């Protein structure tokens, strides 16, 4: 059960990082008005996945 909980934490953090990497450039674009922000998620989504993976592994396996 502990392994399942740890894997669920990792998956949720990876998913959350991807979602954040997708939506944050669009939120910035609302205030900036530059249409080039719509291309930024091609870079920020993979970064969000990696950051979410690292944070998820930390909280899922090392802190539990």
Question: Which residues fall within 8 angstroms of residue 14, CB to CB, at 6 or more apart?
Answer: 49, 52, 53, 56
pLDDT in tens, 2-47: 889 999 999 999 999 999 999 999 888 888 888 888 888 999 999 9
Rounded to 5°, the CA angle 14-48-8 comes to: 5
> pTM score, two decimals?
0.84
Count CB atoms within 10 A of the CB of residue 11.
Answer: 14
- DSSP, collapsed to helix, strand or coil, labels residue 53 as helix
Measure the CA–CA gap between 57 and 6, rounded to whole angstroms.
8
- Give the per-residue pLDDT at 56: 94
């Amino acid at each position: 059960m502990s392994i399942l909980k740890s894997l669920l934490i990792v998956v949720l953090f990876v998913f959350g990082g991807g979602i954040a990497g997708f939506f944050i450039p669009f939120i910035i674009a609302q205030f900036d008005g530059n249409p080039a922000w719509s291309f930024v998620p091609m870079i920020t989504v993979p970064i969000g996945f990696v950051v979410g993976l690292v944070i998820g592994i930390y909280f899922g396996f090392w802190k539990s």
